[in-house]
């Protein structure tokens, strides 16, 4: 590439060369009996060298399927390409013999997956896993391969490459594993890098590091990159061009600045409108009356490992945790994974017994109570769980799931069921919902059931542990609105646990930031977001993807809870 070319924007350069990847009318058929006949329907787009194309869509939009088709990873024979072509440098990948396709995979086109925890073989040293690519696609001798693995690990910013190459994946953190995955993908200097939600499973600060890494490597090597994501914040951060997909169809396709700032298609507009934005903090909550819940110097230590000859290792999950929740107040507990936020939440609900400290509910110390004395408080403090797929018993009807709690506390079964129907209607499900089973509902609907179940106990305090992190962004918005609506109608107090600052900003009055088992900062949402005092809070805020992007004014919704 000449000096002259480098000065041009990627799109201009691209217009003069053949596209790296040219997808024409691609259709992928699902097996009969699936919810729709085509997973991907007549998809057409191109990817140029030195360009990041973000493919955006919610779960089930067919964005991952497209990537899988390119890599020959479709689950044959049920799911297959039924039409169209995938041209790599002008040659149809789908028409190539298997051996030639294989030489492209991992060689010319590489892929990074979403789940770093499961994407590496647990029984193989990471160096060997990276070396495998080199062994397959190059004729480097073993010592040269080892040297190259070390270089790659250093390039993706991992310390002690030589030592790390000998480690097994379970020794590494999520962020480190994702770096290893990236090193593996880069091993043979591919022309195209496909990244399928590579940062979704990571903490926000790690996400920022990985995004920076991906972006710098892409720019350095002038790779074409297809970045699959559901997060418009990430899109704003890295995309040159954007393709929005819905139900297998391409609904909008254009330069990033156009799609982000002047979205045309109603679906794109809806998606952007439901992006939580951290500017939208709420007005201060007027604290009235005595506090409903006071956590005072709560400490919990878990003992990990241990055996006949080995002492167990203490891990401090929470130390000196103090916070208060007033009636009607929503307190956000924000932190990265392992910060101890769930430990505090579970301690308040009584699922974990802290080692020391007090948890006062309306003046009564819950930790001093025995099993029997605690029982009434099981009612007044209820929990909404993270995973709506795992937290409902698949063998029970939804009506029974909701009614079970009150029945256990002596309510008449018929009356409890009638109340369950009312509650299901209140959370926006229709009347027939009570007679159906959980698997008949979508993730968002299941989370509504989970909320109805918690409300059936007529609690005063709701502990919501990451209630929306398993949901798509548009569904996420709906569930958050529902929670907020209920909170206001029933004057509920809520402890809202989340790793996502943008979500916290949307629903919380007070924010407590946790790090390594301690609360490092606590204050009103306004203070924490506009004048963060702690360096860690600042780094969290700084790591929010797409903060430089201003959501188009006509799509900014009125902040939830603003009066």
Partner 1 sequence: MLGFAQLFASRLVKAAAILIAIVVMNFFLVHAAPGDPATVMAGEAGAADEKFVTQLREQFGLDRPLYEQLGTYIGKVVQGDLGFSYRQQRPVWDILAERLPATLVLTLTAFILALAAGVALGTLAAVTVGTWADSAITVVALLAYATPIYWIGLMLSLLFSIQLGWLPAFGYETIGAGYTGLAHVADVAVHLILPVITLALFYMAGYARLTRASMLEVRSLDFVKTAKAKGLTQGRIVTRHVLRNAILPVITVAGIQAGQLVGGSILIETVFAWPGIGRLAFEAVLQRDYQVLLGIFLVTSVMVILFNILTDILYGLVDPRIQVSQ
Range 530-537, long-range pairs (CB < 8 A, 24+ positions): 530/281, 537/513
Among 72, 83, 157, 327, binds partner 1 (CB under 8 A): 72
CA angle 327/381/373 to nearest 5° reads: 115
> Between residue 409 and residue 468, which ones bind partner 1 under the rule CB under 8 A?
none
Structure letter (DSSP) for residue 79: S
The answer to the question of residue 80 lying near partner 1 (CB under 8 A) is no
Q: Which of 506, 406, 396 is nearest to 454 (CA)?
A: 406
| Residues 428, 430, 432: CA angle, nearest 5 degrees | 145
CB 128 to partner 1: min, Å: 9
Q: Which is nearer to partner 1, 310 or 395 (CB)?
A: 310
Three-state SS letters, 152-193:
HHHHCCCCCHHHHHCCCHHHCCHHHHHHHHHHHHHCCCCCEE
Count of other CB atoms within 10 angstroms of residue 548: 8
Site string for partner 1, 159-178 (x = CB under 8 A): ---------x-x--------
Shortest Cβ 183–partner 1 spacing (Å): 12
Binding mask 182-201 for partner 1 (x = CB under 8 A): --x-----------------
Distance CA 167, CA 123 (A): 10
Contact flag: residue 97 with partner 1 (CB under 8 A) = no
387-409 b/e (C-beta count within 10 Å ≥ 16 → b) = bbeebbeeeebbbbbbbbbbbee
Tell me which of 24, 80, 102, 557 binds partner 1, using CB under 8 A: 102
Site string for partner 1, 132-161 (x = CB under 8 A): xx--xx------------------------
Give the distance, in angstroms, between the CA of residue 188 and the centroid of all CA atoms in the same chain.
Answer: 29
Binding mask 279-318 for partner 1 (x = CB under 8 A): --------------------------x-xxxx--------
- Angle (CA) 271-470-420 rounded to 5° is 100
| Among 21, 55, 93, 111, interactor with partner 1 by CB under 8 A | 111
Instruction: Please identify which residue in 42, 60, 73, 425 interacts with partner 1, judged by CB under 8 A.
Output: 73
- Rule CB under 8 A: say whether 274 interacts with partner 1: no
Compare residues 133 and 476 and give the one whose CB is closer to partner 1: 133
Select from 120, 182, 416, 433 the one that contacts partner 1 (CB under 8 A). Answer: 120
The SS3 call for residue 473 is helix
Residue closer to partner 1 (CB basis): 304 or 548: 304
CB of 427 to partner 1, least distance (A): 34
Site string for partner 1, 232-271 (x = CB under 8 A): ----------------------------------------
Task: Please identify, using beta-carbon distances, which residue of 132 and 362 lies nearer to partner 1.
Answer: 132
Q: Smaller CB distance to partner 1: residue 79 or 429?
A: 79
Longest distance between any two alpha carbons in the chain, whole Å: 80
Alpha helix positions (H), 222-359: 232-238, 256-261, 266-273, 341-349
Least Å from the CB of residue 190 to partner 1? 10
Q: Which of 10, 42, 115, 221 binds partner 1 (CB under 8 A)?
A: 115
105 binds partner 1 (CB under 8 A): yes
CB nearer partner 1, residue 98 or residue 553:
98
Single residue of 1, 6, 124, 290 touching partner 1 by CB under 8 A: 124
Q: Does 119 sit near partner 1 (CB under 8 A)?
A: yes
Secondary structure string (H, E, C) spanning 102-145: HHHECCCEEEECCCCCCCCCCCCCHHHHHHHHHHHHCCCCHHHH
Entry field: residues in the chain: 563
Question: Under a CB-based contact definition with an 8 Å cutoff, are residues 561 and 486 in contact?
Answer: no
Stretch that binds partner 1, among 36-44, 121-129, 220-228, 267-275 (CB under 8 A): 121-129
Q: Closer CB to partner 1, residue 184 or residue 275?
A: 184
CA distance 132 to 149: 10
Beta bridge mates, 110: 193
Structural contact between residues 449 and 429, judged by C-beta atoms closer than 8 angstroms: yes
Within 8 A by CB and 6+ apart from 536, the residues are: 513, 515, 520, 521
- Please tell me whether residue 360 binds partner 1 under the rule CB under 8 A: no
Give me the least distance between CB of 231 and partner 1, in Å please: 21
Site mask, partner 1, residues 461-500, x = CB under 8 A?
A: ----------------------------------------
Q: Residue 443 is inside which H or E element, if any?
A: helix 443-455
Q: How far is it, in rounded angstroms, from Cα 414 to Cα 285?
A: 39
Q: How many residues bind partner 1 (CB under 8 A)?
A: 33
Which residues sit at the interface with partner 1, rule CB under 8 A? 71-73, 102-107, 110-111, 113, 115, 118-124, 132-133, 136-137, 168, 170, 181, 184, 305, 307-310
């Amino acid at each position: 590439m000449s000096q002259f070319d480098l000065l041009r924007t990627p799109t201009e350069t691209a217009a003069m060369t053949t596209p790296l990847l040219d997808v024409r009318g691609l259709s992928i058929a699902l097996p009969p009996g699936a919810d729709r006949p085509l997973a991907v329907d007549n998809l057409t787009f191109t990817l140029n060298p030195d360009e990041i194309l973000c493919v955006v869509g919610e779960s089930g939009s067919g964005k991952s399927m497209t990537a899988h088709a390119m890599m020959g990873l479709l689950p044959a024979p049920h799911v297959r390409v039924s039409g169209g072509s995938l041209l790599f440098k002008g040659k149809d990948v789908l028409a190539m013999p298997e051996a030639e396709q294989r030489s492209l995979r991992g060689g010319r086109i590489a892929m990074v997956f979403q789940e770093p925890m499961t994407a590496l073989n647990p029984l193989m040293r990471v160096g060997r896993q990276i070396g495998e690519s080199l062994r397959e696609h190059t004729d480097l001798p073993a010592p040269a391969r080892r040297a190259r693995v070390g270089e790659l690990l250093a390039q993706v910013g991992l310390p002690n490459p030589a030592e790390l190459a000998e480690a097994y994946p379970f020794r590494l953190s999520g962020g480190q594993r994702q770096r290893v995955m990236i090193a593996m993908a880069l091993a043979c200097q591919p022309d195209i890098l496909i990244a399928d939600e590579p940062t979704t499973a990571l903490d926000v600060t790690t996400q920022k590091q990985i995004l920076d890494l991906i972006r710098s490597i892409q720019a350095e090597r002038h790779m074409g990159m297809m970045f699959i994501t559901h997060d418009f914040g990430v899109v704003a951060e890295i995309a040159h061009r954007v393709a929005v997909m819905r139900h297998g169809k391409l609904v909008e396709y254009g330069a990033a600045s156009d799609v982000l700032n002047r979205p045309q298609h109603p679906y794109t507009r809806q998606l952007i409108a439901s992006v939580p934005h951290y500017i939208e903090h709420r007005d201060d909550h007027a604290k009235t009356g005595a506090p409903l819940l006071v956590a005072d110097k709560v400490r919990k230590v878990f003992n990990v490992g241990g055996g006949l000859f080995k002492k167990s290792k203490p891990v401090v999950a929470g130390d000196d945790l103090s916070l208060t929740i007033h009636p009607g107040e929503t307190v956000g507990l924000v932190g990265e994974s392992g910060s101890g936020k769930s430990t505090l939440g579970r301690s308040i609900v009584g699922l974990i017994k802290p080692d020391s400290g007090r948890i006062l509910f309306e003046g009564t110390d819950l930790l001093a109570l025995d099993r029997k004395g605690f029982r009434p408080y099981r009612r007044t403090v209820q929990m909404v769980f993270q995973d709506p797929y795992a937290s409902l018993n698949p063998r029970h009807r939804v009506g029974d799931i909701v009614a079970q709690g009150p029945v256990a506390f002596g309510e008449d079964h018929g009356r409890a069921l009638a109340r369950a129907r009312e509650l299901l209607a209140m959370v926006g499900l229709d009347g027939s919902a009570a007679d159906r089973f959980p698997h008949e509902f979508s993730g968002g609907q299941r989370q509504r059931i989970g909320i109805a179940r918690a409300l059936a106990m007529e609690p005063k305090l709701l502990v919501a542990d990451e209630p929306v992190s398993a949901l798509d962004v548009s569904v996420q918005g709906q569930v958050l609105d529902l929670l907020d609506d209920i909170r206001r109608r029933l004057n509920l107090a809520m402890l809202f646990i989340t790793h996502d600052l943008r979500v916290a900003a949307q629903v919380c009055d007070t924010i407590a930031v946790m790090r390594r088992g301690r609360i490092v900062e606590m204050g009103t949402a306004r203070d924490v977001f506009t004048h963060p005092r702690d360096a860690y809070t600042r780094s969290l805020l700084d790591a929010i993807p797409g903060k430089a992007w201003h959501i188009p004014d006509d799509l900014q919704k009125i902040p939830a809870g603003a009066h």
